[in-house]
Homo-oligomer: A and B are copies of this chain.
Amino acid sequence: MSSSTGSSSIVSRLSTRDDAFEQRLNALLDWEGVSDSAVQARVDEILADVKQRGDAAVIEATNRFDRLSVENMQALRLIPDQLEQAFNNLPAEQREALARAAERIRVYHERQKPSSWQYEEADGTVLGQQVTALDRAGIYVPGGKAAYPSSVLMNAIPARVAGVREIVMVVPTPDGVVNELVLAAAHLAGVDHVFTIGGAQAIAAMAYGTETVPRVDKIVGPGNIYVATAKRAVFGQVGIDMIAGPSEILVVSDGQTDPDWLAMDLFSQAEHDEDAQAILVSWDSAHLDAVAEAIERLLPTLEREGIVRESLSRRGALVLCQDKAEAVTLINRIAPEHLELSVDAPDTWLNDVRHAGAIFMGRYTAEVLGDYCAGPNHVLPTSGTARFSSPLGVYDFQKRSSIINCSREGASALGKVASVLARGESLTAHARSAEYRIQE
């Protein structure tokens, strides 16, 4: 148990001192979300079919892939009353917890709202940016085992806060199984239209519009490989949020957090699915041993033991590093979706953390609190994409227009500069358009 790279435990043990550390870390993090050409071809076919035949194509694909036998879109549409009823039918405890979470998410996202701004120059020229909301947003909610009501809140509430006029939600119901909690969350979040469709056909319906499904301006929300491939294909036609990979957490512990807590924090990530990734980093070797022991002991008590065991053994790791500085290097190398700083004085780490989707600070801040109800969004950049992308937010449902209002004098001065540069680029109509505005 004291060997830092022992392999007797469920989860791999790595040390930054190992010769092959970089290589092992790279192998562990490697994730190819790229769809093969067979998936690509199938998705292209579905997209083209829905674009051309609309509702009819959506109905056929839905009957086929979700094993239904509906005859029209009305059978794939939920009315507001059904959503409200689902909410009212919830046990009081769930209804209150959902409402509490929704309220906290709303309050947090209100703080994200950017404002339009402008400034005036000495000659009266005004420059600025106007912020406006999207007209219509589309939210993809996965069906089956990954149908999470919390995701409905996390996707729809920022859209509502942003001022989006209309929110369309799609959620497949394989074999006709409806998730009442998902409908209740849709009611609470103020979703306008719900269609029980999924896969590439749902993405196509929202991107192109059909007789029944309104065309949206942006599609957000995670899905399987068909959904991800379809989102990539329609990008440009509509906006998309991101191509999500499996969920992951990097926990850094200073050795002072209860090993059972840390084991459970890792489990909570690993129980999502077999591809999920949970990594713990510490410079305290005995502490890592203790967490490994807690994992062995607690694993058999989990409802989703099988999934957790596979996820941890395939993609999990306990990593021994030398010190805090090395832990920081690992954080920025991995750019984790979730970063748990289970350390004393976590705020002293903040300046050094350059890349992370969400930072959970201190021993009490388990990731799960952010997953459901702390307020910040749980839709986060995965697979190292925190290097360049952000949590889903109000800003994803808004866009900006530049404002340029030149005074007569301002236009004259700028016209002279623009004329020189335009002629330098051999764009002489540009130059002459500028020169008309020059006052002699």
Contacts and interface: CB of A to CB of B under 8 A. Distances in A.
A264 B271 CA distance: 63
Contacts of A366: 411, 415, 433-434, 436-437
Given A129-B112, A243-B236, A433-B268, A303 B403 contact: no
A108 interface: yes
Contacts of A410: 364
A359 B235 contact: no
A135 B387 contact: yes
A125 B364 CA distance: 10
B271 A135 contact: no
A148 interface: yes
B365 A405 contact: yes
Interface stretch (A6-14, A93-101, A281-289): A93-101
Interface stretch (A16-24, A186-194, A372-380): A372-380
Interface stretch (A64-72, A81-89, A424-432): A424-432
Chain copies in the assembly? Answer: 2
A421 B98 contact: yes
Most B-side CB within 10 Å, residue of A357, A372, A436: A372
Interface in A236-288: 236, 238-239, 242-243, 258, 260-261, 264-265, 267-268, 270-272
Contacts of A264: 429, 432-433, 436
Residue of A235, A268, A353, A408 most packed against chain B (CB within 10 A)? A268
B401 A268 contact: no
A129 to B, nearest CB: 7
A353 B374 CA distance: 36
Given A135-B354, A369-B434, A385 B236 contact: yes
Majority SS of interface residues in chain A?
mixed
Contact of A365 (B100, B132, B303, B411): B411
Contact of A417 (B97, B303, B361): B97
A144 to B, nearest CB: 12
A347 B48 CA distance: 42
A401 B261 contact: no
Given A94-B424, A388-B218, A429-B267, A369 B132 contact: no
A224 to B, nearest CB: 15
Nearest to A332: B135
A367 interface: yes
A364 B217 contact: no
A406 interface: yes
Contact of A422 (B357, B360, B372, B432): B372
A199 interface: no
A243 B25 CA distance: 34
B417 A373 contact: yes
Interface stretch (A52-60, A313-321, A322-330, A389-397): A389-397
Interface string A396-419: 000111111111101100111110
Given A135-B387, A148-B425, A371 B267 contact: no
B181 A406 contact: no
27 contacts: A97-B420, A97-B421, A135-B387, A149-B424, A217-B388, A232-B232, A232-B235, A235-B243, A236-B242, A239-B388, A261-B436, A304-B427, A346-B405, A357-B402, A358-B403, A358-B404, A361-B405, A366-B434, A366-B436, A368-B431, A368-B434, A369-B418, A372-B418, A372-B421, A377-B402, A381-B399, A389-B399
